[in-house]
Structure formats: C-alpha cells, structure tokens
A and B are shown apart, each in its own frame.
Chain A
C-alpha cells in the first residue's frame, strides 16, 4: 500500500452534467411542486446536510459519533436564546451557535483523543455527552427547560430573510444553499492535504503517526469542523419549527437519524450521504402514503418495514447504495475505501 488510493478516473463531463441538471431542478422546484413536496424536499436537504457534516467525522476521519444531535441542539438553543432574549437574528446568532458547538466538539475530541479513546468507547462517550446535555437542558429554565422554548411566530406571508421568518420556499432555499455549501466544503476538504491526512489516519493510524502526521491535530480538526457544520442545521431547525424541546432535539433517536443517511448511502463518498438522504426520506414518506392509501391503519407498520429495509441494505449492499447507483448512472464514484 504505497500511494493514496484514488480508485476513480473521473469522466468529467457526465457527473458534472448530472450534477448541474440536479442543481437546476432543485433551484426551480418551488415554482413547480406543491408545499407538501416542498416540505419533503426540505427534509431531504436537511438530512443530506447533517449527514454530510457527520460524514466528515466518520467517513473521512474514521470516528464514530453516535451523539451528533448534541451539536444540533447546542446550535439550535444558542441561536434561539439570542433571538428570544436579545432579539439577535439568526445570521449573527449562527456564529454563536458554531462557537458553542465547536467548544462542545472540541471538549469531547480533546478528552477522547488525549486519553486514547476510539471505536466503540468513543461512540459511547458521544452518547453519554448527548444524554447528559439533554437532561441538563431539561433543567435550564432560562431557555424553557423541559416545558419547551418557543420562538415568536409572525405571519408567513412575507419573507423576512434577515430574521428567517417567512414562507417555506424561503426555508427551502436556505437549506439548499446549506446543502450545496456542505458539498463544496467536503469536496474541497477531500482534495486538500487535510483530506489525505484523514485518509491516512483512517486507514492506519499508527502508520500515519509514524510518517509524522499529527493524528491528534487532524482528528480534532475533523471533529470541530463537523460540529460547527452540524450546528448550522440546528439553527435552521430552531427557526423552521419555532419550538425546541430538549427531549426532542437531543434524544438519541435524532442522532441515529443523522447517521442513517450516510451509512445507507455510502460512507466516505461525496455523494453517499445525499443519496442516502433522498432514498430514506422518500422511503419513509412513500411508506406512510402507501399504508394510508391502502387503508392499512396499523400504527408501527411503516417503521417496521423501514427497519426491514435497513436490514436488507446492510446485508446486501454493505457499502451503501451509492456505489451501485453511481455505477448505474455511469459515474465512477470517488471512493475513499481502497479496492471493493
């Protein structure tokens, strides 16, 4: 194993063309689709965004975080608190959100890496921090505690981009911009020196260290970037839903939702989290529509089928759905894992 493994020869025109067409379709979507479809698209973009952010830590730097909802929550509450208590809008609030998340991520990363914690233990550490924070926030009455934190809602006829109050279409474009930004950041990181260091650390930490790569530093960078990006999703969440409950924002179910997209789609690839987000969200929505259209009102049935789908994909498509889909679309995907 000598050179960094770049398995693909990118045939430039086709993937760029497809991406361009997708981008165009997404840009004009609000003019053509109804608001239900728009809300589904927003969910997909949100899912893709958080998945990408998580992927930086896992797919790129190889650290399994099962408590990513922590950063969403911290970001959401930071921006919401500034808005409700001091009237500071989200564009300023988001810096506070990112700072808070970076501190949290930095703390966890520092504790974990300094003490040599990795693998399952690291994952459990992240869960513990998320749960600890959840219960803690339940008791902070300044931001609502377990009774919930409500942002003031104004009429949604006009779009106030400054305060993020407005029609769903506005939120859609904000989320689209975020998702595009995430992709750009990831692409830039992948081809940068940091990206290659991450690849080395992920594949063989000891060898990387022996080569003189400061593994501690680069793992911290991954954690901090991932946390900061995730916190922006939290800011969006706060202003889109206008209410926050620690139980709903920090709970482990949310952390699991974040990671399903990327694992399902394909870790370590650029487009994997997006493909995973699209398929999983559409799967969930179509299962619900199908069961209600068929009149099968059995609560829990959709989730059961959803779980079965997860199982099937894990068993038969271990690298996620993106590699086969990308081959089918005629793109050779840039796959970080050597060989398979």
Chain B
C-alpha cells in the first residue's frame, strides 16, 4: 500500500472527523447539561442542511458564510423546543423522554419530506470540486474549509464556557443542579439556553456539511447514531472529547475502509463504541458521572 495513499486517506479522515466532531459537540453540550438524550439530533441537522441549501440556491449565499445565520436560527428553534416541549420532561424516566424526541424526530423528518420532496439536494458552490495540492497530498478544498470552520466554532464555544459568565453558570448547573438553584441561577432558562447552544452547533455543522453531503429527508438517523458514537467515545459533556472523538472516528473509519472492506467500515466505529462502553464508559475525556 503506497504511503501517500495512506497519508491522503488519513488526512481526509481527520478533516471529515472535525466536522463530525462539531456536530457531536452539540449533542455533548446538551446531554452534559440538560441530560436529555436527543435522538432527534440528526433531524435537526438535516433541517440546518436544508436551510443552508435553500439559502444558496435561492439567494446565492455560500454555506460557509451562512454558518452564523443558520446557527442562530437553530439556536432559536432549539430554545423554543426546550422551553415548550422538553422542559416538562426533565425529570421523567428515560424511556418517556426517548419517545418524546422520537415523536419530534418523526415529525421533522416527514415534514421535510412533505416540504422538500425526496430528491437529494446540495449546494454546488464554485469551489466544490477543487482541491489543494501540497506535495503528495491532495486536500479537498471544501473539507479543509469545513474543518477550519468546525475548529473555530469549537474554540469559540470552549471560550464561552470557560470565560463567559453565562457559560460558567451553565457549567454550574451541569455540575450541581441543586447548588445552582441555591445560588439563585434560573436553571430552566439556562437549560433552554444550553439546548439552544447545542442546536446552534448542530446548525453550524449542518451548514458546513451541506457542502460535503447531499441532503435527503431520511438523513437524520444515521447522523444521530454517528453523533452518539462520537460523544460516547469522546466523553459525554466534554467538548474537547467530542472533537477528538470525531477525529478518532473519522480517522479509524477511513483507515478501516482502506485496509479492510469499505462496506464494513462502520462496524469498526460500533466495535470501538462497545469497547469503550465496557471499559471506559465515561469516554476518553469525560469524567465519571
């Protein structure tokens, strides 16, 4: 196996993994704080992708520039969903929460089918077929930009949670719910805010993914699953973990596809998931719950 093939594939895997990581980041933030297992995650990302595609095809706006608007739109949607639908369910048993988000997922997916039809859509930007050439490396332009965007957004988020007051308040809720309420934090509002931030991440990731992937209404479930694998691997509630998990999964799938059968490459992700669940359920970077 020629070395430059391996390197090319590996680098591609890392870049794609960064975008996956951003998507998973949203899930990790939500679960880490609100402790809701959002099985409608993939569907929300599909909505973001459709949004980005529409903005490009109707108004000619490049999805990379639309990261912020799409993110904002999804922030508002997430905030609304959390306040109206999910907040009453915070203390309910898991299977009830699960059915709630499944219902939301079914509604979104079929709403998209009715609204957009089943055909695959994408945003054919002018540089969609270009690649950078760095010596033996051929780097897909779109992937590089998307990965860069993912990195920037993740860094911003990290900064927010580390240094901003609201960010610290949210972390307080996650660490100690009762304590947070005792010191007077408005937990319900912070939960809604967190959910909104999580979905904003998903929105940003979706905007970038619209450049890489063609969107159909039934895209959701496989991305939800992928997000969960990444989050578990990286560690629920850890942002660095989500990014790292994304890169790890992207890289391992790429290499597995290269050295073994490409059609079985997802098996490796699930095998990694199983191993981690057994031996280190808090993930690589998480803390033991």
Contacts and interface: CB of A to CB of B under 8 A. Distances in A.
Interface of A: 58, 64, 66, 111, 115, 117, 119-121, 123-125, 127-129, 131-132, 135-136, 138-139, 252-253, 256, 259-260, 263-264, 267, 298-301, 303-304, 306-308, 310-311, 314-315, 318
Interface in B167-226: 217, 221, 225
B277 A117 contact: yes
B277 A303 contact: no
Interface in B82-136: 85, 88-89, 92, 94-96, 98-100, 102-107, 109-111, 113-114, 118
A135 B269 CA distance: 11
A311 B94 contact: no
Instruction: Select the residue from B104, B106, B263, B278 with max chain A CB neighbours within 10 A.
Output: B106
Contact of A303 (B104, B110, B264): B110
Contact of B114 (A111, A119, A264, A299): A299
A132 B281 contact: no
6 contacts: A64-B94, A120-B94, A135-B263, A138-B263, A300-B110, A303-B110
A47 to B, nearest CB: 16
Dominant SS at the B interface?
Answer: helix
Contacts of A58: 95
Contacts of A264: 99
Most chain-A CB neighbours within 10 Å: which of B37, B92, B107, B232? B107
B278 A263 contact: no
Contacts of B152: none
A267 B98 CA distance: 14
A301 B277 contact: no
Given A124-B228, A311-B104, 11 more contacts: A117-B278, A121-B232, A123-B98, A124-B232, A129-B274, A131-B225, A135-B266, A253-B221, A299-B118, A304-B110, A318-B96
Contacts of A307: 102-107, 110
Interface of B: 37, 85, 88-89, 92, 94-96, 98-100, 102-107, 109-111, 113-114, 118, 217, 221, 225, 228-229, 232, 261, 263-264, 266-267, 270-271, 273-274, 277-279, 281
Nearest to B279: A115
A311 B274 contact: no
B140 to A, nearest CB: 26
B100 A311 contact: yes
Contacts of B261: 139
A183 B157 CA distance: 52
B95 A263 contact: yes
B247 to A, nearest CB: 20
A83 B114 CA distance: 43
A309 to B, nearest CB: 8
B281 A117 contact: yes
Contact of A304 (B98, B114, B263, B279): B114
A270 B252 CA distance: 45
Contacts of B92: 318
Nearest to B272: A128
B267 A125 contact: no
Contact of B267 (A119, A121, A127, A132): A132
A185 B49 CA distance: 48
Contacts of B264: 135-136, 138-139
Nearest to B92: A318
Contact of A128 (B88, B110, B274): B274
Contacts of A300: 110-111, 113-114, 217
Most buried by B among A66, A117, A304: A304
Contact of B103 (A117, A135, A311): A311
A82 B98 CA distance: 37
A299 B105 CA distance: 17
A308 B274 CA distance: 33
B274 A125 contact: yes
A64 B94 CA distance: 8
Contacts of B277: 115, 117, 121, 124-125, 128
A306 B274 CA distance: 33
Given A131-B266, A131-B270, A263 B96 contact: yes
Contact of B96 (A127, A139, A256, A314): A314
B274 A120 contact: no
A301 B110 contact: yes
Contacts of A303: 106, 109-110
Nearest first, the 8 A-B pairs at minimum CB distance are A307-B106, A311-B103, A300-B113, A310-B103, A300-B110, A304-B110, A307-B107, A132-B270
Contacts of B228: 124, 127
A120 B217 CA distance: 27
A263 B99 contact: yes
Given A136-B267, A139-B261, A124 B273 contact: yes
A318 to B, nearest CB: 6
Contacts of A124: 228, 232, 273, 277
A317 to B, nearest CB: 10
A127 B277 CA distance: 12
Contacts of B111: 300, 304
Residue among B94, B95, B102, B267 with the most chain A CB within 10 A?
A: B95
